[in-house]
Chain A
Amino acid sequence: QKEVEQDPGPLSVPEGAIVSLNCTYSNSAFQYFMWYRQYSRKGPELLMYTYSSGNKEDGRFTAQVDKSSKYISLFIRDSQPSDSATYLCAMKDTGNQFYFGTGTSLTVIP
């Protein structure tokens, strides 16, 4: 079993919809949680970074971490066609290694 589980999708939504992306993990030592957006044939781009539990908002994006449930989410409000990409969650403990989910492919239909 992978350390980080993420539904690969694909997920298809109409423009303006609220998108919910999720990851679960098994290692209770994870403290740092990240969401990356990756366009086709490009490098992952860091979207959100959260330490420990709680919420963090940045524009249309909200990241939530629930350490008690080992569950993290990324919400995208008012989704746009330019949000169409693969979204990867990643997390780490106090060590140097990052653990990635498999990515969720999102398409926002105009």
Chain B
Amino acid sequence: AAGVIQSPRHLIKEKRETATLKCYPIPRHDTVYWYQQGPGQDPQFLISFYEKMQSDKGSIPDRFSAQQFSDYHSELNMSSLELGDSALYFCASSRLASGYNEQFFGPGTRLTVL
């Protein structure tokens, strides 16, 4: 079965640079979530999109922005990167329109800011 795809899997950036993370949800899933997970921590919810519209906002810094495109893929844009942004970034998808509340995670993008 198709799973959530994230790219790139690893990314190394320097302070003050920008980064773009991409997420391709499971086919026919209408909702995408972004999470940040630091070492030994639970995933921290950043933002979600339902049918290409932002639906919920969590602890996403103002330096970050995200959007969902017409093909349902999503991109997380991160600017003015800081050392503390180093983390695993997960995308997850679900199919809320049909009352399907299970959320499936991608493999994550490991971002290292030097």
- Residues of A whose CB lies within 8 Å of any CB of B are 6, 32, 34, 36, 41-46, 49, 51, 88, 90, 92, 95-103
Contact = CB atoms under 8 A, between A and B. Distances in A.
Q: Which of A41, A43, A103 has the most chain B CB atoms inside 10 A of its CB?
A: A43
B48 interface: yes
B90 interface: yes
Contact of B90 (A32, A43, A101, A102): A43
Main secondary structure of the interface of B (DSSP, over half): strand
Interface of B: 4, 31, 33, 41-43, 45, 48, 50, 55-56, 58, 88, 90, 92, 96, 101-108, 110
A63 to B, nearest CB: 13
B103 A34 contact: yes
Given A101-B42, A102-B41, A102-B42, A96 B96 contact: yes
Nearest to B107: A43
Contact of B108 (A43, A46, A100, A103): A43
B56 A44 contact: no
B108 A42 contact: yes
Contacts of A102: 41-42
Contacts of B101: 32, 49, 51, 92
B42 A88 contact: yes
Given A43-B90, A44-B90, A46-B102, A97 B45 contact: yes
A42 B37 CA distance: 11
A96 B105 contact: no
A110 to B, nearest CB: 24
B102 A43 contact: no
B108 A96 contact: no
Contact of B50 (A46, A96, A99, A103): A96
Nearest to B45: A97
